[in-house]
Amino acid sequence: MQQTIDIRDLSFEDLEKEIIALGEPKFRAKQIWQWLWQKSVFSFSEMLNLSKELRETLTEKFSFHTIKISTTQISRDKTIKVVFELHDGNKVEGVLIPTLTRLTACISCQVGCSLDCKFCATGYLKRERNLTAGEIFDQIVLLNRLSQEHFKENLDNIVYMGMGEPLLNYNSVFDSVKRVTSIDGLGLSPSRITISTAGIAKMIKKMADDGFKTNLALSLHAATNEKRRKIMPITDSNPLELLAESLNYWYDITGIRPTLEYTVIAGVNDDAESERELVKFAKLFPSKINLIEYNPITLADYKSTSRLDQFAENIAKQHLIVNVRRSRGKDIDAACGQLALKSIKN
């Protein structure tokens, strides 16, 4: 049996051509597009302003590779972790994070990861494949429905900080952002979206050139090449000198300060020397710093530091913007660096 095309992999122009080839009027493509991205339906049968015959034809001609929620866990702090099952049986995780001021969806862009970061549970998984733009989009839709169900509010923020490296799935991430921010999609402001990367310099520049208006976060975690390559092997191909250049380029083009994500790990990057190194790197370009509480994983022998607040205080004295990100959902392995630790394997 010939494999059919996932209709959500089509551009609007390609969808128009397909609809015209079926003998339908051109405006049907607009209707279908709105059902896909604005109304976020999960089947052709829900497209009620199309004829039954057209819906049956679409079902025969195209696939509709939506995702579904496999399991959910709710933390003591009300954080919700979700295992999403993809059409081919693969699974990824997403997290709905409630705070007093916002509701944030943390979403994945790859099944597994290829970067082998030593402090991150996902880094110990094999990368199986990239997610499509539709699969990324579906995570947002389903987490928003959970937000409405549990908190009676829509999502405020989306962070591409789940499983996988967004810039190694660039096209799908770019397309998903367009769908989320378009008036024909979810209509969310780009300023409510953050793309987090382990640091691929040429792709950071490409983001700027391609007109990304989202926030950008670099997973830094150590501010010298020597220290960073021990916990992030990607440093060998993307040293800090290249990353600093690319972040300067990003700021020059977009005017958006990049955020430096820095997980503070006892005995690894939490001493006074590491503070000075971080300050020096952060002053190479306009930036903000997020200091992250380390969340232990069974796959690595790292420990959280007792110096987190002191570290933040010392950085702030250097006239830098610094925030401390406290862990949420740790009791269900939903905190930063813990995704794919248990539920993916069960």
d(CA 32, CA 35): 5
165 near 115, Cβ under 8 Å? yes
Q: Write out the two tokens for 69.
A: 């929620």
Q: Which residues of 305-326 are buried (b: 16+ CB within 10 A; e: fewer)?
A: bebbeebbebbeeeeeebebee
Helix, strand, coil share (%) of the chain residues, nearest 5: 40, 20, 40
Q: Which residue in the list 16, 93, 277, 293 is annotated as catalytic?
A: 93
Q: Which residue in the list 106, 117, 120, 336 is annotated as catalytic?
A: 336
* Concatenated DSSP letters of 73-127: EE-TTS-EEEEEEPTTS-EEEEEEEE-SS-EEEE---EES-SS--TT-GGGGSPP
Mark whether 336 is an active-site residue: yes
Mark whether 120 is an active-site residue: no
d(CA 23, CA 43): 22
According to DSSP H, which parts of 94-200 are helical?
133-151, 170-181
94 near 145, Cβ under 8 Å? no
- Residue numbers annotated as active site: 93, 336
